[in-house]
Every structure is written in structure tokens, then in C-alpha cells.
Amino acid sequence: MKTSRLTMGTRAVASGRNRLVAVLLLLWIGAILIPTLPGEIIVRKDGRKIEGQIVLEEADAVVIQTTFGKFRIARDQIASISGRRALSQSERDAEDALAAGNLDRALAKLQEALKETTTTAAQKALQNRIAEINKMIQEREEKEFAFQLSTADRLIQEKRFSEAREELKRLLERNPDPSPAAKVIRRRLCQAYLAEAQFYTDTINYPEATDMYKRAIEVTPDEAEPYLRMARFLVQRDAKPAEIIDYYTKGLERALKTEKESALLDDYYKLGIAYIKAGTGRVPDEKMLREGIRCLLIVSRDGGTTYTTFAASRLEDAFVQLSKTNYDADAMIQMLQSTLEINPNAQKARWILAEVYGKKREYEKVIEHLTTIEANAKANNDLIPEELYYRLGLAYLALPTPDHEKALEAFENEIRQNRLNYMALIRAAEIHAQMGTYDDALRYCNQAIALRKERPEAYLVAAETHTRRSLPEDTAQAQRFLRQALNLKADFHPARIKLAAIDILAQRRAEQPNYGNAQSLLFKVLADIKEIPPSKLTDEDRKAKGEATFWLARIEDEKRNWREAANMFKSALAEYPNFPEGYRYQGNVLIMLDAFDDAKKSYLKAVELEPNNPETYLLLGKLCQNNLKNYAEALTYYKQYLDKGGTEVETVQRWIRECESSIGTAPAATAAPAPAPSDASAPTSDSAPASIPVSAAEANPPPPGPSAAPSETPDTAATTSTTPGAPAPNAPPKE
């Protein structure tokens, strides 16, 4: 056993010795066979030769460049170096400087030597040496640079800000712009100023803090952080919104070059609040408010539930302010819809959205959003918002085909919820009067008068209700209410116009009509309005002017001064174009002047404005049958009259049979128009011809009859509400 182990050990030693010999042999062969660069030859003491280019000489070693790379050979292993060129004095000085560790002098001397040498091989050798020393200098400078930066950081940590700044400024002098090092130094100098600014903020030395923030911006004007830090500081100081906005916008503009909006939500939130503050005032600033809403929408979109909760109330406040401006409705709708997509329960945003749709006259959408608010409030056991039902009622009345029943239901819901809503009482009274439920109308009028005795609108509606009811004492009662309204407000034009209308209708039945009193009342209205500067005229003023002119035209019509009446109806409709009764009466007068086509256009405009009034279809049917001889079209209008609830059923059915019997012998009729004509077929407010030719009707006007002009239409214009100051369908009641 011992012999076996000894034998194995001997074999192992022999094997190791053989491997060492093999390695040495390979190295010897490699040294001989290594392809070398032409130049210097180092002969080692063991006999091996290495040929290449010596690129660095150190005190204890030599570095030679071969085709296989660089080799560092200790001087005590070198027997000789051959093929070496003679060194110049500059090179020897460089070697001495290098040995002394003076890299800068060594570099300078080698550069001098490079200028002196003329051979290519020497130039190449010097260039290699220069490159090596430059690399050593760069490594040295990088270490020094890092050390100086760390020194500045330490000084900042120790709150020795002045010393830190001086250290960095010296470093910047050695590394001027636009070097990459200068950019690093400037950023570190900015951090020094920001740290000092925070120190002054913490010690409540705000003027010094402000100065340091401004210096940080001066040092790095293209960086986002100093602007954002300054803006946050100003927010903390409750500074002017304009200053906060200026720094935040500049900071965010720079930050977005490298970051996403979602990483800057806190800054967007504070900027949004600053914009809203800047835009809120006696005269809200639409641009500022819209920018604030934009910022808060970014926060709500990307901020999750926490930010959404904070931003929701701010957004709604901004929308309330923006709704007071002359805003762009489409842009407003887009912002509000974005808000509701993020937070469907933002009731105030939905409320304002309904208002905006009201401004655009899209009343179906107004109703949709108001009913959604109502449903959400009921589902959450919340109170129904004040005036919701009132606004809902106004929207139902403003539909192309007004829904009076739903409007009345909404107004009465508002009254049950808030008996102090004066205008809801007025609106409910008006609808009851139109429906013929006069007792309910007067009951609401009395409640409104009791609530606001100083306001004239309820007296006007009460007068209209008495006029519609037409009991023996109603006319006198209506006049008393109207005079009370004028006692309360002398320039309450609708009451004066209504008094004139009652007098005109009464004089029509007199044997010798005297319209002097009515004319005086109407001229008083026109004179009062004429005193108002054109720039200050309101829609209510123009409406009153149009209605007063309309009733003056009615007087001329009664006197059979049809040319004058036609011109006055034209003037009235120019002031008050949304007046279907005016177009009906204009059509009547134009028939008397044989201007049948213009009369038809006037009636069609009335249909456009009031498509559910059967009276206009009856007038169109008579015109087509008696004057235009278009029996097919007359037949269409008579049928529409019956479909719309016209009451002269037997008479109209007889006229229908006459038209049907005439169609077979009459010339080919044109196609009947659609029930609701387009604007292209409807006249404008100046639909009456500028100059109407004198006709037989004007020279010797016949009395109204079935074959001439249509019979007198009911006096719906006299009983139409002319309540001034009534709010638009998206406005709250006036107080």
C-alpha cells in the first residue's frame, strides 16, 4: 500500500514537471514566432526577444506595443533593447518629468519633441506617448473633479452655502461653457442655491429665499426644477396668481421635455387653482378659467380617486365662473363632457352643461341632463337642486313643439319644492291660462302678487287671464291689473301695450271706432324706447317696439289702410322676427294688396315658428283655394288644420270636398309643401315687398269674405304673454 502511494506521488510530480516544461516551451516558441511590429527589440535575460514599439517607460518597467497587444516587462528581466532611436533633449526632459509624476510638464515636453522630430517612426512613437499621458491626465482630472464636487456637496450638507458656491465657481472657471463638465457644475450650483433657498424658507427669511430661487434660475435657465421650486414657494406664500402662473408654465414647459404629465400632477393641480383665482372676479376672465379647467382635467384624468376628489369642487367652481362669460359653447361642452367622463356624479358640471346646451338652443339635451341630475339626486337621497324643475319647465316650453303639460308639471313641482320661486308661479299661471283653467291661473297670480307685490309681471298675467276668460267683468278687471302694473313700473311696456290692445279690440265693435287712446299708449312705448341708446337696447326693448308697431299696424288694418299696415307689419317683424301672429296678420294684409305669393311666404314663416297652431293652416288653405287656385295644396293645408285640432270641422270638411271636386278640372297643381317649411321658403322680416303696386283691392277694398281675404283670425296676439324680463330657458328667475 505504501509503495503504491509513493509510486503515484512520483508520477504526479513527474506529470507536473512535464506540464511546466511544455508551457515554457510554448512561450519560447511563441516569443520567437510572434508576429511583431517593426521597431524596437527587447531581449530578455532568458534569451527571448519581443519586437514592437515601446510606448511607455517607467522607473521599473517598460511597456511595448506588439501586434498581440501591450506587454509590461520589468527592467530587471531585460538584457538589452536594440533598434532604439536617439532621444531628444525634450524627450529626456519628458521622461524625467514623468518619473517625477509631473504629467503636465511631461506632456508639454513631448509635444515640443513632436514638433522637433522629422522621422515617421519617431512621430508615431511620440504620438503614442502623448496619447498615453493625455489619458493619465484625464483620469487625474476626473478624480479631482469628482473630489471637488463631493467637497461642494459636503459643504452644502453642512449649510456652508457660500463656501460651496465659491468651490463650484472656481471649478466652473476651469471648465467653462459649453463643456459637458460646465453643465454638471451649473446643475450642482443650482442645487446649492435651491438648498440655500429652502434653508431661508425654513427660517422664515422669505426675501433671501426669493433671491436664491431667482439665482438658481439664472444659473440653469433651461432646467425645470428651479422654476417649479419657485412656483411652489410662491404658492406657499399665497403670492399673486400671475406670478405663480408665470413660473409654473415655464417650469412645466421644460419638464415636459423629459417627463409625462402624469408625473407632474401636483404642479398641474396648483397651476389650475392659480388660473381659476386669476380668472375669478367681478368680470371673469374666460381665458384664465379655461386654462385652469384644462389643468384640473389633466389632474382628474391621470390622478386617480384622490386627485379627482380634490379637483372636482375646483372644477365646478371654475365652470360656474366660466358660465358668466361670453364663452365658446362648443369648447365648454367638450370640457364639461370630459369632466363627466371622469366623474359622472359631478352634478354641478352637468348643471352647467345643461345651461350651455340651452345657450345653443338644444333643449332636448337640456332636458336630458336636468332629468339625470334629478334621478341621481333621488338615487342618493340628496335634495333636488333649487330651480331644477323651473329650468326643466322652461326647456319643455322652448322645444320646437312645446310640451305645455310637462312644463306645467315641472313648474308646479318647483312651486311645491320652493314656494318663493316667483317666476315659477308666473309660468304656471301662464300655462293654466292657455289651457283654459283660469281659476288655477288666477290662484297662482295671486300667490305671486302676495309674494312680490312690488313686481309687475303677475299683474300682467292676471290681466291676460281675465282677457282670455271673457266674462262680463273681465275686461274691466284686466284693465285694473294693468294700471296697477304701470303704477309699480311706469316703463313696463308690456302692460301699456296690453292696455292698447284691449282698447283696439273694444273699438272694433264700436259703431264709430276711435283709436286715439290706443295710439297714444303705443306711441308712448315707442317714444320711451327711442330714448334708449342703441347700444343699450335689450331683446325685451326690441320685442316691445315690435309689438307696439304691430298694434299700430292693426289699427291701420282696421281702417283699411292696407299699404300703410303692410309697411308697419314689416317694421314690426324687423324688430321682433320671432312673432308668428305678426306673420299671420302680415299675410292677411298682403292678400288685400293682391300680393298672394308674399302672403303665402308670410304664413309659412308663421308655420315655421308655430307649427302646431291650426289657424295658420286654415289661412293657407283659404289662400290656396280662393286666390292661388291651387286646390291640391289647399286640400293638404285643410287636412293639417284638422290634424292640429282645428274647431271649424264641418266648414273645413265642406271646403275639402270642394277642393277634391275642383282638382279634376283645375290646371295641374304643384306638390304640397312639407308641414314645417325650411328657411329657404320662409320670408324674412322684410318679406313684404318694398313697393306694392296699387291694386283693385286697395283702390276699392272689398269687405273680408270667403272669396277674398280670410276671415279675421282670433286675437291670439292680444292674449299672448308679453312678460318682460322673463329669463331665457337656461337662466334663473330674476329677483
Cell numbers that stand for 592 in this block: 288685400
Distance between CA atoms of residues 655 and 649, nearest Å: 10
Q: Cβ neighbours of residue 695 under 8 Å, at least 6 residues apart?
A: 593, 594
With cut-offs at 50, 70 and 90, classify the pLDDT of residue 305: low
CA angle (662, 664, 666) in 5-degree steps: 65
Distance between CA atoms of residues 630 and 367, nearest Å: 41
Helices and strands (H, E) in the chain, number of each type: 32, 5
pLDDT of residue 693 exceeding 80: no
pLDDT one-digit tens code per residue, 1-55: 444 443 444 444 445 555 554 444 444 444 433 343 446 788 898 989 888 877 7
pLDDT at 665: 53
Chain centroid, CA 586 distance in Å: 44
On the question of a cis peptide bond just before residue 178, with omega within 30 degrees of 0, the verdict is yes
Distance between CA atoms of residues 386 and 735, nearest Å: 14
Question: Which has the closest alpha carbon to 539: 511, 577, 583?
Answer: 577
Number of domains in the chain: 1
With cut-offs at 50, 70 and 90, classify the pLDDT of residue 465: very high
Cell numbers that stand for 214 in this block: 431667482
pLDDT at 29: 40
pLDDT one-digit tens code per residue, 88-135: 788 778 878 888 888 889 889 889 888 888 778 788 888 888 898 899
Distance between CA atoms of residues 574 and 569, nearest Å: 9
With cut-offs at 50, 70 and 90, classify the pLDDT of residue 565: very high
CB atoms within 10 A of CB 294: 16
What is the separation, in whole angstroms, between the first and last Cα of the chain? 123
Q: Cβ neighbours of residue 16 under 8 Å, at least 6 residues apart?
A: none
pLDDT of residue 596 exceeding 70: yes
293 residue type, one letter: I
Distance between CA atoms of residues 137 and 128, nearest Å: 14
Cross-strand pairs, 321: none
pLDDT one-digit tens code per residue, 632-686: 999 999 999 999 999 999 999 999 999 999 987 544 444 444 343 333 333 333 3
Q: Residue 45 sits in a domain of what CATH number? A: 2.30.30.100
Does residue 577 fall inside a structural domain?
Answer: no
Does residue 58 fall inside a structural domain?
Answer: yes
Does residue 45 fall inside a structural domain?
Answer: yes
Distance between CA atoms of residues 554 and 557, nearest Å: 5
pLDDT of residue 713 exceeding 60: no
pLDDT > 90: percent of the chain: 53
Which residue would you say has higher pLDDT here, 484 or 42?
484
Q: Give how far Cα 504 sits from Cα of 120, 501, 513, 564, 721, Å.
A: 123, 5, 9, 17, 17
pLDDT at 181: 87
Across the range 229-250, mean pLDDT stands at: 95
| DSSP helix/strand/coil, 413 | helix
Across the range 566-591, mean pLDDT stands at: 95
What strands lie across the sheet with 49-57, from one edge to the other? 69-74, 61-66, 49-57, 40-44, 78-82
Distance between CA atoms of residues 519 and 548, nearest Å: 9
Distance between CA atoms of residues 122 and 143, nearest Å: 32
Distance between CA atoms of residues 240 and 288, nearest Å: 14
Cell numbers that stand for 389 in this block: 324643475
Across the range 515-544, mean pLDDT stands at: 94
> DSSP assignment, residue 623?
I
Distance between CA atoms of residues 89 and 92, nearest Å: 5
What would the 3-class secondary structure string for 518-531 be? HHHHHHHHHHHHHC
Chain position carrying cell 279675421: 712
Chain position carrying cell 402624469: 262
Distance between CA atoms of residues 549 and 575, nearest Å: 9
pLDDT > 70: percent of the chain: 83
On the CB side of 691, CA atoms within 13 Å amount to: 1
Does residue 700 fall inside a structural domain?
Answer: no
Distance between CA atoms of residues 213 and 503, nearest Å: 79
pLDDT at 344: 83
CA angle (366, 608, 547) in 5-degree steps: 90
- For the whole model, what pTM was predicted? 0.59
Does residue 51 fall inside a structural domain?
Answer: yes
With cut-offs at 50, 70 and 90, classify the pLDDT of residue 704: very low
Chain position carrying cell 332629468: 371
59 is in which domain, residue-wise?
28-82
Q: Cβ neighbours of residue 346 under 8 Å, at least 6 residues apart?
A: 312, 315, 316, 339, 340
pLDDT of residue 148 exceeding 90: no
Does residue 67 fall inside a structural domain?
Answer: yes
pLDDT one-digit tens code per residue, 611-625: 889 999 999 999 999
Does residue 396 fall inside a structural domain?
Answer: no
Question: Which has the closest alpha carbon to 572: 556, 599, 552?
Answer: 552
Distance between CA atoms of residues 547 and 525, nearest Å: 10
CB atoms within 10 A of CB 302: 17
What would the 3-class secondary structure string for 558-579 be? HCCCHHHHHHHHHHHHHHCCCC
Question: Which has the closest alpha carbon to 617: 648, 574, 589?
Answer: 648
| DSSP helix/strand/coil, 450 | helix
Across the range 393-417, mean pLDDT stands at: 94
Q: Cβ neighbours of residue 415 under 8 Å, at least 6 residues apart?
A: 421, 424, 425, 428, 444
The phi and psi torsions of 42 (rounded to 5 degrees) equal -100, 125
Across the range 528-537, mean pLDDT stands at: 92
Sign of the CA dihedral running 642, 647, 648, 649: positive
pLDDT one-digit tens code per residue, 68-94: 888 889 989 988 887 666 667 887 788
Of the listed ranges 228-242, 337-351, 552-566, the least confidently predicted one is 337-351
Does residue 288 fall inside a structural domain?
Answer: no
The phi and psi torsions of 159 (rounded to 5 degrees) equal 60, 30
Question: Which has the closest alpha carbon to 252: 274, 237, 271?
Answer: 271
pLDDT one-digit tens code per residue, 337-377: 888 887 787 788 888 899 889 989 999 999 999 999 999 99
Distance between CA atoms of residues 423 and 732, nearest Å: 9
CB 497 within 8 A of CB 523: no
CB 291 within 8 A of CB 273: no
Average pLDDT, the chain: 83
Alpha-carbon radius of gyration of the chain: 49
Distance between CA atoms of residues 239 and 731, nearest Å: 36
